[in-house]
Amino acid sequence: MIKEKGRPNRLLKYSLLAMLSIVAITANAQEGYEAIIEKYKTENAVITNNTEHLTIKNEGGELVAVSDITHEKLLISEMSPGLYNKEYIFHSYFNKLQQFDAEALIPTDKGYKKKKDYLDKTTTSEQENIFYDDAKQTEISFSGLTKNSVLKTSYTISHTDIHMLPVFYFQESIPAVKQVFEITAPKYVQFKFVLKGDHTDWIKQTREESKNTIIYRFTAENVPALKELSDLPSVSYYMPHVIPFITSYQLPHDDQPTQMLSDPSQLYAYYYHYIKNVNVTKDDLLSKTAQEVTKGDKTDREKAAHIYQWVQRNMHYIAFEDSLGGYVPRQAADICKRKFGDCKDMASILTAMCREVGLKAYFTWIGTRHKPYTYDETPLPLVDNHMICALKLGEQWLFMDGTDPLIPFGYNPSGIQGKEAMIAIDEKTFKIIKVPETPAAVNAVSDSTYLHLDGKNVSGSVRMGYKGYPAWNLENTMVYYKNEDRDKYVRAITSRGSNKFVQKSYKYYQNDKDEKEASLGLEFTIDNYVQNAGKEYYINMNLNRNFEDDYVDAKDRNVGVSYKFKTKVQEVVVLDIPKGFTATYVPPDATNSLDDMWNYKLSYKLVPGQVILTKDYELKTLILPVDKFSANNKMVEELKKQYKESIVLTAN
């Protein structure tokens, strides 16, 4: 063996250089982390960097999409190692996890030490719930963490359908130093980007072109922690996010562009291929069932109502999504036999049975109110998360949602009010119809309270009537809740006056008519409710105080307040004047209105032996816009003043 002169020295030199570079990197990293720790010293943890790089490329004449994600989190407080020791990776059939890597940087006297001490576990919702869901999550649990540790997670997701590119959200539950979403694609791929949510002005957009590719970059720095807002269907209404989608592309050797999703018609064409082969074969059992269910019916409306009610009674809703099964309805014949299915399956059997008896029924895609999107702005599958059946009766469109076993025929679940529905007429024809918002008068509540005085104590009875959504929500509670939970719910909606309210018993009634109205009756007592000074007794008849809690905290809120449904409420409180007493003061009437949003009216009436308070409220909107916050809050404050008014009874 010939010894090469000088080689050991060169190896030593290279080793020293490598060590020095590592020391330098570690020192620079530590210095950077120290600056972040100082800046965010009042926080438990902070995202130092969250970057997703989405690459679109041509493989064998097909576009493929892959995301490389890097997520880095710095633990700051003493509690943070126990609170923030986990990371989660979400993936599914359409977004497949290819690989991941994780490590922790543990602070030492000499800098940061890398440590790969973690456990990972992948679960599906089947393991946590009774339903099967194709979506999965991989949980990475780190151990041996200390204050100022850094958690680094990197992973790769392949997107199996380029019609469904990932949406990037720029906020998390803790602050972020930097959030970056990059898309690298060939120049022949045409994109559209839609920014949604609040504070989209935080997002800086840049574009870099090279010879063959374009990099689209969206960056937000020093992003505060997400402040969760109440009274909104989902965080998508206010969490800033960017929605990328490909409108068209033309591969180098193609004669013309391939159209993707640039308008609703292209989305419909994409959707239709999922349903074109559903229910094309006639089934004897399904046909026989439809004929039996509608036997004797004279009108199309009767037929549709009986089919809908049969599905409600006999089909069991189970939500599950398995690969393409999340988009393809199952055959109605199979659903009829096995007696269960998800929303697409309910739409399938409703559509098929209606068509068997000559009705014009159609598959219909719709997004619930959790989705703040429209078909024109974002003609993408993300607009929708639900499927129902649309029925044409004369000139009227009706919608049937078989997933709700309680909503009467002709009415819509509250979660799809005001939402756009895409109705599949045939291969080339579709309609977009907005589901009507149920008027306030349909969702009526009447509340009558009868009061009797016994010194400072009050006893009485309550009679409550419900129509529309309030009735159906109450029915849901009475049917599906356990006895103890049902009783708690009833106490919560009937309790009034003070925390000394004692409910003796209650009776519930639900009629069997089409509207399914409901009622509650109960007896109660409230000790020490009456205040007195000498011969004067003060009784506040405002035992219920609707809208009192509707004051909007407008600080840092730039999105409206959402209500589940419009409603109309009338309360009547009847107080028997005890013998030997005279009503010497009755508060003045009060009324107020906020445009077409909501209104109230309080009126007192003195009749022989009684004082009667009548309160009328009407909520006429599903959304209270930001520009109405100030007027709304002023009106709430005025209403609260009225609630403090008491009548005065004076002993003779």
589's tokens:
């009437």
Low-confidence ranges of the chain (pLDDT < 50): 1-25, 126-133
What is the model's pLDDT at position 21? Answer: 42
Distances (CA, A) of 52 to 36, 67, 83, 99, 221: 21, 6, 25, 15, 15
What is the model's pLDDT at position 327? Answer: 83
Give strand pairing partners of 67. Answer: 54, 157
The Cα–Cα gap between 243 and 516 comes to 42
DSSP symbols for 508-536: EEE--STT--EEEEEEEEETT--EEETTE
Q: 3-state SS of 92-156?
A: CCCEEEEEEEEEEEEEECCEEEEECCEEEEEEEHHHCCCCCECCEEEEEEECCCCCCCEEEEEEE
DSSP-assigned letter for residue 299 = S
pLDDT in tens, 173-182: 999 999 999 9
540's tokens:
């506040």
pLDDT in tens, 458-474: 999 999 999 999 999 99
**Closest among 577, 574, 560 to 625, alpha carbons compared:** 560
Compute and round to an integer the Cα radius of gyration of the chain.
32
The Cα–Cα gap between 65 and 643 comes to 60
**Do the Cβ atoms of 156 and 68 come closer than 8 Å?**
yes
What is the model's pLDDT at position 556? Answer: 82
Q: Give this prediction's pTM.
A: 0.90
What is the model's pLDDT at position 128? Answer: 37
- HSE-up of residue 503 (Cα within 13 Å, Cβ side): 18
